[in-house]
Amino acid sequence: MVSNFRKVELKLYPNQQEKEEEEEEEMELDFSKVSDMDKDLVDTWFKQLDSVQEKIMFIDLLKASRSYNLDSTPKLLGSRDYLVETLISSGVGRYLEFKSVDDIYIFDKDLKSLEKVCTCICLLMWNLNTNYKEKVPSSKEDVFTNKAVSLIEKRKLMKFLTFAMEYDTSHALLEGTQDMNYIQFLQEKFKITGKLQEAIVYAIAMVDDKASVKVGLESTHKFVQAMGRFGKGAYLCPLYGGGSEIAQAFCRVCAVYGGVYILNQPLEKYMIDSKTNEIRGIVTKEGQEYKCQKLITGIDYLNESWLSQEKEFG
């Protein structure tokens, strides 16, 4: 699953122009329709909001909180990822519901002075002025119907997406790109700059400005291949929950086939065969041993020396 959000911050950009300080002081804040549950959020975030306009917008969002959903750390599943095939073949997919992410937007507070770009994968764009968001062409249909992209840029984009679809590591365009990052590659090899470049890097490949050419192209290749399988877009989003919901579905199937769960048993150490260097089991803090031939675990439970030292993720 894909997650490209390392730091989450609350930023509000009101559609109305900010008024003079004298006018702001006269504006009243209406808390009458804010639920008791949301009042804790008001108390927490109000200290971080500068203007009255931002506070009013925040209250309006809370009043209509049942009408939309904003996920601060979304987990997206590529439509052709190996996990999708596993969910289908194992039958685990019967316990889950997914929604296709049809539209992708890049959001910035000032299109004239682009200080910081953040990617918004939007199932629902609520109360956002069109001046603050640009739709990313995420399908062939979008490329031809998007009015924000010029004809020349459309040709560049289609040429690049075709290249990404047929991605070949031995292609002549990749010669001498070992020391380039993905942004430099797009600019030098395809003359792609500006908003179109940002859309490809942050919203299609979902990498950052330090990503290598290899990582960027592999991510873009996966995106292009996944387009249109279960909907217009390339990604699926769990309708309820996130990665934990998928784990829970596997647990259900495991229980159906006789799987045993042992709770509240902190791990003390692993039992490793000194000759083959293969796992042989685990030992709990209570000293109880559980033998196994294979072990599936989260990365947080592994010794750092066992992990790959290559940091290729964008």
Domains of the chain (ranges; CATH) run 21-67 (no CATH), 77-238 (1.10.405.10), 262-306 (no CATH)
Mean pLDDT, residues 154-181 taken together: 90
Query: Does residue 140 surpass a pLDDT of 80?
Result: no
* Contact between residue 76 and residue 235 where contact means Cβ atoms under 8 Å apart: yes
- pLDDT above 60 (res 307): yes
pLDDT band at 181 (very low <50, low <70, confident <90, very high): very high
| Residue range 227-267, pLDDT digits in tens | 888 888 888 888 877 778 888 899 899 899 888 888 888 88
The bridge status of strand 118-121 relative to strand 133-136 is unpaired
Predicted local confidence at residue 115, as pLDDT: 34
Percentage above 70 pLDDT, the chain: 72
| SS3 sequence of the chain | CECCCCCCCCCCCCCCCCCCHHHHHHCCCCCCCCCHHHHHHHHHHHHHCCCHHHHHHHHHHHHCHHHCCCCCCCCEEECCCHHHHHHHHHCHHHHCCEEEECCEEEECCCCCCCCCCEEEECCCCCCCCHHHEEEECCCHHHHHHCCCCCHHHHHHHHHHHHHHHCCCCCCHHHCCCCCCEHHHHHHHHHCCCHHHHHHHHHHHCCCCCCCEHHHHHHHHHHHHHHCCCCCCCCEEEECCCCHHHHHHHHHHHHHHCCCCCCCCCCEEEEEECCCCCCEEEEEECCCCEEECCCCCCCHHHCCHHHCCCCCCCC
Q: Which of 230, 201, 226, 245 is nearest to 75 (CA)?
A: 245
CA 91 to chain centre: 25
**Whether the predicted pLDDT of 22 surpasses 50:** no
Is residue 145 within 8 Å of residue 164, measured between CB atoms?
Answer: no
Question: Model confidence over 79-110: pLDDT tens digits?
Answer: 999 999 999 999 999 999 988 888 888 766 55
Strand-by-strand arrangement of the 279-284 sheet: 267-272, 279-284, 289-291
**Is the model more confident about 228 or about 70?**
228
Please tell me the predicted confidence (pLDDT) of residue 149.
79
pTM: 0.64
